Structure formats: C-alpha cells, structure tokens
C-alpha cells in the first residue's frame, strides 16, 4: 500500500502538507515561545568552539551576526534557526516535486511548479509571522527557504536524469 502511495505521489504530497501545517503552527508562536537559548545554555554551558566561532561575523537582514554582537547562545541559535529554514523547505521542495511529478509527467514543469509553490508558501509564512507578536518577517528568510526548496528539486532532477540514463 505504501508503494502505491509513493508511486502515485500521494505520500510525498502528504509530507509536504504536514510540513506546511507544522510551519503554520511554528509561525503562530512568538520568538519567546520558540527560543532555545535556555536549552542551549544548559547543553553548551562551557561554550565549546567559542574561540573558533568568534572569528565569524557577517550581516544578515541589516544586523550583524557574530558572537560579539549577539552573544554565544544567540549566535548558535541563529544557525539552528536558519538551518531549520533551509532544511524544512528542502524537504518541502523535494516532497512537492516527487508528489507532483506523477501527475505532471514533465521534469522541468514539475520543478518550476514545485519551486514556485514552496517559495510562495515561504512568502505566505513570513507574512503570517508579521501578524504574530514578537516576530519579524524577513525577505532574506524567504530567499533561504526558496534556496532549500531549489536544492532538493535540483537533486531530484539529477536523480531522475541518472535513472533515465540507467547510471543509478
């Protein structure tokens, strides 16, 4: 039965819709409700890697991101949050591609539609954050989300191409 869901893409579409639900719920929470600073300060109380990480500094959405500017635990949390953005939309983009391909049957058209759907949802998600207290919508996050989706879609396209050529 799972094979049939996978073959016709329904399982992947369900994964994409579940991710959308999780993201909607997550965007409904304030920063304080989502913050992992307390957990990080417990787990990383000795501030491992702080010496090596102290050399990293860059600008993101008009703010400096560095240990000096944010503090050690906020700096680490920044990378966890941005990794979650990229990873979640990576899964969504791949799931949308794999879920839509059996219906569309064109790799390129499926790729474009899956990418536009994931990017559109990222924009709507940031808009939803704007309506939530204590949250800041960022265009840069939409671009990060869009990059995660595009990465998964490109990998799916490569695998499809290699399978067609019977390389894998």
Spell out the residues 6+ positions from residue 62 whose beta carbon is closer than 8 angstroms to its own.
Answer: none
Domain tally, the chain:
1
| Average pLDDT estimate for 146-165 | 94
44 falls within a domain: no
The pTM is what?
A: 0.91
Distances from the Cα of 163 to the Cα of 125, 156, 160, 166, angstroms: 34, 10, 5, 5
Q: Look at 30-34, 60-64, 68-72, 153-157 and tell me which has the smallest mean pLDDT.
A: 30-34
Q: Domain of 109?
A: 2-34+84-164
Would you say residue 164 has pLDDT above 50?
yes
146 falls within a domain: yes
| Average pLDDT estimate for 82-91 | 97
142 falls within a domain: yes
Give the number of other CB atoms < 10 A from CB of residue 18. Answer: 13
Cα 77 → chain centroid: 15
Residue with the two structure tokens 């000795």: 46
């Amino acid at each position: 039965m799972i094979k049939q869901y996978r073959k016709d893409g329904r399982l992947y579409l369900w994964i994409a819709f579940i991710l959308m639900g999780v993201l909607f719920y997550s965007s409904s929470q304030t920063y304080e409700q989502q913050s992992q600073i307390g957990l990080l300060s417990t787990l990383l109380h000795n501030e491992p890697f702080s010496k090596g990480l102290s050399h990293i500094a860059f600008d993101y959405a008009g703010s400096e991101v560095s240990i000096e500017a944010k503090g050690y635990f906020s700096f680490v949390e920044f990378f966890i949050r941005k990794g979650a953005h990229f990873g979640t939309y990576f899964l969504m983009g791949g799931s949308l591609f794999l879920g839509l391909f059996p219906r569309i049957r064109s790799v390129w058209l499926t790729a474009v539609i899956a990418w536009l759907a994931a990017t559109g949802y990222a924009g709507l998600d940031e808009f939803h954050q704007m309506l939530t207290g204590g949250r800041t919508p960022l265009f840069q996050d939409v671009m990060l989300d869009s990059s995660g989706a595009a990465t998964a879609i490109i990998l799916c396209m490569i695998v499809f191409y290699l399978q067609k050529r019977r390389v894998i």
